[in-house]
Amino acid sequence: NYPTEESRKKHREAKGKGEIPENAKIGGEIGIHGVPEGYEFAIPLKINWTLGCISMTNAGINDLYPCITEKIIIEITP
C-alpha cells in the first residue's frame, strides 16, 4: 500500500528540511529483484541504486520465485 499518507507526509517534511532534493519523487512501485551478472558485490555495500526496490542475490531470487503467486501480499519490515 505504499505510498501511504504517512509516507507522503514524511516525504514532504524531508523535502522541507532539505534532507532530500526538492525534485525527489516518492515513487510507488517497489520491486524485489536480483542484480545484473557480476554486481552482487553492490548489495552489502548498500549503494543506493535500486530506486526504492529491494535487491537480493540472484540465488535468493531463484529460491523466492517459486513461492510467489499472483496478488501475493509481501510485508516489508525494517
Q: Is the pLDDT of residue 9 over 90?
A: yes
Shared-domain flag, residues 6 and 37? no
**How many domains are there within the chain?**
2
Shared-domain flag, residues 37 and 18? no
Shared-domain flag, residues 21 and 57? no
Shared-domain flag, residues 21 and 39? no
Model pTM score: 0.58
Dihedral sign from CA coordinates of 70, 72, 29, 6: positive
pLDDT digits (tens, 9 = 90+) for 41-55: 888 887 777 777 888
Residue among 51, 50, 27 at smallest CA distance from 39: 50
Q: Which long-range CB contacts under 8 A does 22-27 form with residues at least 24 apart?
A: 27/2, 27/3, 27/51, 27/52
Rg (CA), the chain: 15
Shared-domain flag, residues 23 and 41? no
> What average pLDDT score do residues 67-78 get?
86
Domain that holds residue 3: 1-27
More confident residue, 19 or 48: 19
Shared-domain flag, residues 40 and 6? no
Write down the pLDDT at residue 46: 76
Q: Is the pLDDT of residue 1 over 80?
A: no
